[in-house]
């Protein structure tokens, strides 16, 4: 089947695609509005080596991955809970925190998610403060030249809306609707492949040209029957009674 034929099939039933897109887009928008919004606050930590040494810098990049694990540890979560007095478990608090090491810039990114933008900010800020304090205590026993200095770049701001992102959901719903509509169209075309619906289908199936069409046998009889019913009252009006 050529590309033109595929286009013809899709265009002949384009309303199916339009209907599918409308349903999926409206559904995606409605679901996005019903979901509880989650806010994300972000804070960055600077990681500085004690000396400008290439070997030490490479070592720090490996240590940063270990730092990320310490930030989400149960010990750090317990200290954060004690300072913020949050009514959650350490495991639940750790699940709200995401840490990413940006090794090229020697940065650690801490993201905190919560239903309240202010609580998300406090979690990110206090988590960073606890980690910086613990790191400084740990580095006191190290030689100054081998120390790793960790500091907060900027204070955390109130969280921004992280999810749901209704724009992305609506766009994904539209794409999904197009795919569903195309699939439905081709399924219907496949089911009707052996059904001859027009003279063009007959020519494609038999390979012969259609010279003429014969109307359905019942149509002529019905017309004659309807015509005789209309003429019968006229004949009755023209008859004269006999004496």
pLDDT at 201: 65
pLDDT at 102: 86
pLDDT at 40: 95
Task: Round to whole Å and give the CA distance between 40 and 96.
Answer: 9
pLDDT at 213: 65
- The domains of the chain are located at 38-163, 199-238
pLDDT at 12: 84
pLDDT at 234: 47
pLDDT at 196: 65
Per-residue pLDDT of the chain (243 residues; tens, 9 = 90+): 577 777 888 888 889 889 999 999 999 989 888 888 999 999 999 988 766 666 666 677 777 878 888 899 999 999 999 999 998 999 999 999 999 988 888 899 999 999 999 999 999 999 999 999 988 888 777 777 767 788 999 999 999 999 888 889 899 999 999 999 999 988 888 877 666 666 666 666 666 666 666 666 555 555 555 555 555 554 444 444 544
pLDDT at 67: 85
For domain 38-163, the CATH architecture is 2-Layer Sandwich (3.30)
pLDDT at 235: 42
- Indicate the pTM of the whole model: 0.65
């Amino acid at each position: 089947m050529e590309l033109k034929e595929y286009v013809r099939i899709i265009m002949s039933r384009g309303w199916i695609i339009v209907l599918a897109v409308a349903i999926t887009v409206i559904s995606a928008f409605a679901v996005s509005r019903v979901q509880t919004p989650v806010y994300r606050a972000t804070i960055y930590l600077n990681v500085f080596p004690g000396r400008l040494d290439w070997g030490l810098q490479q070592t720090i990049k490996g240590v940063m991955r270990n730092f990320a694990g310490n930030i989400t540890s149960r010990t750090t979560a317990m200290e954060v809970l004690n300072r913020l007095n949050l009514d959650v478990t350490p495991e639940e608090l750790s699940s709200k925190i995401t840490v990413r090491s940006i090794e090229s810039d020697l940065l650690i990114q801490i993201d905190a998610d919560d239903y309240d933008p202010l609580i998300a900010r406090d979690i990110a800020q206090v988590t960073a403060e606890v980690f910086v304090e613990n790191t400084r205590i740990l580095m006191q026993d190290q030689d100054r030249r081998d120390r790793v200095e960790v500091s907060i770049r900027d204070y955390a701001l109130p969280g921004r809306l992280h999810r749901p992102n209704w724009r992305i959901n609506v766009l994904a719903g539209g794409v999904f609707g197009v795919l569903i509509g195309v699939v439905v169209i081709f399924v219907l075309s496949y089911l009707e492949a052996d059904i001859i619906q027009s003279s063009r289908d007959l020519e494609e199936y038999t390979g012969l040209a259609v010279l003429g069409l014969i109307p359905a046998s019942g149509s002529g009889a019905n017309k004659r029957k309807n015509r005789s019913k209309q003429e019968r009252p006229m004949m009755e009006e023209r008859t004269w009674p006999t004496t």
